[in-house]
Structure 1
Amino acid sequence: MGINVEVRRIFVASPGGLDEERNVIKEAIEQFNRSRLYGSAIQFSVVEWQHSGRGAMNAQGKINDLIRDSDYMLVLFHDRWGIPPSTDGRYSSGTEEEFNLGLELISVIERPMRNVCVFFKSVETGRLAALELDSQLRAVIEFRAALEATKQHFHGQFDDHLALYQRVLVQLDEWARDSGIKETKEYDPVLVSFANSSISTEVGAEQGGAALQSAIEAAERGLTTRADVLFARALSTEGAQAVFEYAKFLRRQGRLSAAVEKAELLHLEGVGAGNGNSPELLWEIKALAEIAVVERKMGKALASETRLREALKIFPEPIPEEFEETWAYVSDNLAVTLTSIGSYEEAAEWIRRSIALRERRGEAEGLARSHANLARTLNRSGKILEAAGLLESFLRQSSPDLSARARADLLAEYGHALMSLDRLDDASKALLEADELNRDVGNREGEGVAAARLARLFIKTGDFAKALAMADRCQNLASASGNVDGLAQGTWLLGIARHHLGEHSASVIALKEAVRIAEVKGRLNLRRAFQREAEALGIGI
């Protein structure tokens, strides 16, 4: 029997100058439709302003009619905001009007609009640093900051066409699973005023070291737009430290190719330039470690391990005091990589050495990261009671000034251990707090980890619909941040939830895809864990 295919319309909105990116979106939609031709009841078609035709009605009015008949909206921005659609209206650009109309239509049950998402093409740092000189770019940045402040609308950045293509495919996959009755939701409009530039006002004249410190603080608080502008200002004067911190920021935002580009630039500048305990050698080591972290996120665990061992070999002996914090960071990350490939004993040894050094130095934040990493290794190796005891003791004694990101990491691992011990109420409290903290600071990778743990928890408690929603969220967050392990885990959990919901064909498809991701990326221990769980559930994959 054939599948009854429902075609859903995606309106693509943008100011001028983004023709190539609009074509990338069309290519992604065509590829998605081809790949799902025989396995999905939902296909997508593109709607653009050119489809409005000609006539007596004003052009924006005809475009708005197309939006009213569309199911979804994708909005693109780069460095242009556009021009007002009328001289006496409330909107400063046609794209702003189209976006807000899309939001309004989500609340109207009679209209098909279900979701709106926005993608921002990254802007050269030199232009961001001089933001106040370009009113069009400033309006785009103000709009991005306003979206970020609402914490309600999905938006992301991309650095190249491949990144946009991949982000669109992920979004289409989410929308294709949205097969139920439309759920309405009301949103406040998001408006930009050329006369009120909050980002420029907040950032002020910060330059150099002040801008770099403010950028780091903004990134920790999840204020990514503000951080972008401040990093751009710092890069012109602060040299290696600014490049390193910016690469780390890009990696945490899932902009992996840009992160590697910055870290490799820093590494190349340091090679051969430093010796002994010189600053150049320290930055060379930091750059190697940052590249290795990105490689691990991309699924290149063996390359990550090799690079981290290389970094450890070039530390001076004995380790100078100014190198100690970096040595602990590299050791911790080698342990995380070793854990991902199943070398648990060596991983635990490296972390314990790092903890000893951090305790001597009195590093509260570093100690929190190391304890979370050690607990993760213990959890993965089956030493659940030891992991739970370690974290319970550390959380009880930890400083109230511990950052939200660090506390969230600890709680996520603690919740995992408690769940394995069947202390489900305590696990739920820990995981929900971790999820809330990660949302507050915009830590998408941390959100993905908490979502995966919560999906597991809901499977254990038999709430399979909630498990499905959390697994879906984990998969999307992992895709957005480039986290291969998270993507495999989220896809697997989707399959397990669908199995329990009786959706057996869809379950097998998801489970096979998760195994494929684990195999392709060399996560053999993860693949084995998947296969053991499938066998226990009697699922043939």
Structure 2
Amino acid sequence: MADALPFRIFLASPGDLEDEREVVCACVDEHNARRRGQSSVTYEVVGWDRVRGTARRPQEAINELISESHFMVAMFKGTWGSEPGSPWGYSSGTEEELFTGFLELGRAEQPMRDVWTAFLKHDSPADSIVSLREQMSSHHSVMYEAVADTRELRNKLTERLLTWEVLANSKTPRHIELLPSSGRDVLRAANLRLRGEKLVELGQADAGRIALREAAILGGPGEHLAYARFLARDGDFDGAYASTQHAIDQILGGASHLYSPLAAEAFAAQAGLLRRVGRDVDAIGRLRQALTLLDENDAFGQRVRCRILDELGLAYLKVDNLPMARRSIEDALVVRRRLGNELDICQSLVNLARLEVRAKNLQMAADHADEAVKKLCSMPPTALHANAEVLGAQVRLRQGRPNEGLPFGERALSLNRQIGNRRGEAIALKLLAQCYRASGKRVEAESYARACLELNKSMCNTQGAQEAQWILDHLNE
């Protein structure tokens, strides 16, 4: 496609490689010109100079640019670079950029496809450069190139650009085992987190829990929040709250600037737990405060902003403030449609369906739920898929069509069990009991209601247990 957007190459290097940076940019321009008409793949080089001024730690904004890049070129020669003020102990900005690239390489949903590291010849390179190269060589963890001069740099990069054309339209996540100069195993923590989340998605909740717990022990706020999400789905709200507090404590200790997407997400996650235990007014206040930690013009923070708006809308629903709930949910949908992320759009559709159920606009609720279910069919199953199925069943139950709601409920139950979402499983069990009861099928209704009662008791969910008991007490009505 002639007008296809170029693939981004993030260029990371210390300050002693100014000439080499110019060579990289010129080489990429020449490659684009040479391949015009032969390949639809073009590249653009980006670096720290593309980051505008920010009140946050500058390296955080640079790392966000890396998260939007498809490839990375990292170069070292004589000097290691200046210390970036990293709470994780990175001793140079280039080191942090390189390890950020490795982290992005392991994330299936991120665009980073490959990281190319070049060590330029120098008579006396810094000890940290020597150590990094030796570690790469001894562990065989990542490919690197030894480069004698700028001419060889141009030749080897040209070969790399041709190789990247093959990788451009697909990604295979790669997990790198490498220690930064601080000795803190940030890559292992991140890889354990990704492994744990994937195991949960594959139905191996116990193994996933072990990996996520270990990731939280080794890692930072992101790993603690991932573990908190698992614990919340498992019904352990006290444990989830404690894990969010660990994340917040690390942020306050310098792991991130307070006015940042990560900090906003941590405080919002804790507020979401307050909502789930009935402290809706407290949750609303904290969620509104979390929004003040985000720059509205920061594109990277928009997805976090939308997730907070989701939580805020649902909290407003719980206190019957439908106008504010609608405003929050619809604001998130507007941003998501602009960004074009289909999975996030489906989340907004599910939330709108919940809103319309509360407003008693049942046909509109059914339309939103059905649209979400249809869109999600082509995506790997997540908790969102189960929530969409739950909404489909709930709407049909309220419309007096309980038999039509049963397939939705069964799919929701299966999905929640697959991903280890005990709280979602309890909701699906209750819904199936309600549908069978409304259909006059007492035996099936009793079976699902008892399973729901026992599951809620095991999670110490008093309200859920009471709702299941009510169904059992009124089976004959």
TM-score bin (small chain): 0.5 to 0.7
Gaps of 5+ in 2: 1-174, 178-186
Q: 1:455 aligns with which of 433, 440, 443?
A: 433
Which digits, 9 at most, give the CA deviation of each residue in 1:38-87, with x for residues without a partner?
xxxxxxxxxxxxxxxxxxxxxxxxxxxxxxxxxxxxxxxxxxxxxxxxxx
Q: 2:342 aligns with which of 348, 352, 364?
A: 364
3-state SS in 1 of match to 2:203: coil
| Amino acid aligned to 2:452 | C
Gaps of 5+ in 1: 1-202, 501-541
Q: State the match for 1:443 in structure 2.
A: 421
Which digits, 9 at most, give the CA deviation of each residue in 1:203-234, with x for residues without a partner?
9x993322221112122333222222222442
The 1:297–1:475 alpha-carbon spacing in structure 2 relative to 1, beyond 3 Å, is farther
Q: 1:300 aligns with which of 274, 279, 293?
A: 279
Q: Tell me if 1:333 matches 2:311.
A: yes
Q: 1:260 aligns with which of 231, 241, 254?
A: 241
TM-score, normalised relative to structure 2: 0.56
Q: 1:310 aligns with which of 289, 292, 310?
A: 289
Q: Contact conserved, 1:266 with 1:283, CA < 8 A, in 2?
A: no
Q: State the match for 1:417 in structure 2.
A: 395
**CA distance, structure 2, for counterparts of residue 394 and residue 243 of structure 1:** 30
Compute the displacement of 1:237 (Å). 4.2
3-state SS in 2 of match to 1:401: coil
Q: State the match for 1:429 in structure 2.
A: 407
Q: 1:283 aligns with which of 242, 262, 271?
A: 262
3-state SS in 1 of match to 2:400: coil
Which digits, 9 at most, give the CA deviation of each residue in 1:496-536, with x for residues without a partner?
22x53xxxxxxxxxxxxxxxxxxxxxxxxxxxxxxxxxxxx
The 1:240–1:354 alpha-carbon spacing in structure 2 relative to 1, beyond 3 Å, is same
Please list, as runs of the form range in 1=range in 2, the aligned pairs for 1:95-174 lying within 5 A after superposition: none
Compute the displacement of 1:417 (Å). 0.8
**CA distance, structure 2, for counterparts of residue 379 and residue 475 of structure 1:** 25
**CA distance, structure 2, for counterparts of residue 314 and residue 404 of structure 1:** 28
Compute the displacement of 1:348 (Å). 2.1
Q: State the match for 1:215 in structure 2.
A: 196
The 1:407–1:357 alpha-carbon spacing in structure 2 relative to 1, beyond 3 Å, is same
Q: Contact conserved, 1:297 with 1:483, CA < 8 A, in 2?
A: no
Q: Tell me if 1:269 matches 2:250.
A: yes
Please list, as runs of the form range in 1=range in 2, the aligned pairs for 1:9-158 lying within 5 A after superposition: none
The 1:218–1:470 alpha-carbon spacing in structure 2 relative to 1, beyond 3 Å, is same
**CA distance, structure 2, for counterparts of residue 232 and residue 274 of structure 1:** 19
The 1:492–1:348 alpha-carbon spacing in structure 2 relative to 1, beyond 3 Å, is farther
The 1:389–1:495 alpha-carbon spacing in structure 2 relative to 1, beyond 3 Å, is same
The 1:419–1:464 alpha-carbon spacing in structure 2 relative to 1, beyond 3 Å, is same
Please list, as runs of the form range in 1=range in 2, the aligned pairs for 1:179-258 lying within 5 A after superposition: 207-258=188-239
**CA distance, structure 2, for counterparts of residue 266 and residue 437 of structure 1:** 29
Aligned residues between the structures: 294
**CA distance, structure 1, for counterparts of residue 374 and residue 244 of structure 2:** 37
Compute the displacement of 1:483 (Å). 4.8
Q: State the match for 1:470 in structure 2.
A: 448
Compute the displacement of 1:485 (Å). 5.0
TM-score, normalised relative to structure 1: 0.50
Q: 1:323 aligns with which of 284, 301, 312?
A: 301
Question: Percent sequence identity over matched residues?
Answer: 20
**CA distance, structure 1, for counterparts of residue 351 and residue 365 of structure 2:** 10
Q: Contact conserved, 1:207 with 1:233, CA < 8 A, in 2?
A: no
The 1:439–1:236 alpha-carbon spacing in structure 2 relative to 1, beyond 3 Å, is closer
Q: Contact conserved, 2:403 with 2:435, CA < 8 A, in 1?
A: no
Q: Contact conserved, 1:270 with 1:281, CA < 8 A, in 2?
A: no
3-state SS in 1 of match to 2:260: helix
Deviates more, 1:410-419 or 1:278-287: 278-287
The 1:271–1:482 alpha-carbon spacing in structure 2 relative to 1, beyond 3 Å, is farther
Q: 2:331 aligns with which of 353, 363, 378?
A: 353
Q: Contact conserved, 2:221 with 2:255, CA < 8 A, in 1?
A: no
Q: Contact conserved, 1:273 with 1:280, CA < 8 A, in 2?
A: no
**CA distance, structure 2, for counterparts of residue 409 and residue 452 of structure 1:** 14
**CA distance, structure 2, for counterparts of residue 236 and residue 435 of structure 1:** 32
Coordinate RMSD, CA, aligned: 2.7
**CA distance, structure 2, for counterparts of residue 482 and residue 296 of structure 1:** 16
Q: Contact conserved, 2:263 with 2:293, CA < 8 A, in 1?
A: no
| Amino acid aligned to 1:329 | R
**CA distance, structure 2, for counterparts of residue 379 and residue 481 of structure 1:** 27
**CA distance, structure 1, for counterparts of residue 276 and residue 269 of structure 2:** 11
Compute the displacement of 1:482 (Å). 5.2
Which digits, 9 at most, give the CA deviation of each residue in 1:149-170, with x for residues without a partner?
xxxxxxxxxxxxxxxxxxxxxx
Q: Contact conserved, 2:268 with 2:286, CA < 8 A, in 1?
A: yes
The 1:330–1:248 alpha-carbon spacing in structure 2 relative to 1, beyond 3 Å, is same
**CA distance, structure 2, for counterparts of residue 208 and residue 273 of structure 1:** 18
**CA distance, structure 1, for counterparts of residue 351 and residue 361 of structure 2:** 13
Q: 1:375 aligns with which of 353, 372, 381?
A: 353
**CA distance, structure 2, for counterparts of residue 423 and residue 481 of structure 1:** 31
Which digits, 9 at most, give the CA deviation of each residue in 1:5-49, with x for residues without a partner?
xxxxxxxxxxxxxxxxxxxxxxxxxxxxxxxxxxxxxxxxxxxxx
**CA distance, structure 2, for counterparts of residue 337 and residue 482 of structure 1:** 22
**CA distance, structure 2, for counterparts of residue 443 and residue 361 of structure 1:** 28
**CA distance, structure 2, for counterparts of residue 381 and residue 431 of structure 1:** 22
**CA distance, structure 1, for counterparts of residue 473 and residue 227 of structure 2:** 37
Q: Contact conserved, 1:451 with 1:474, CA < 8 A, in 2?
A: yes
Compute the displacement of 1:407 (Å). 1.8
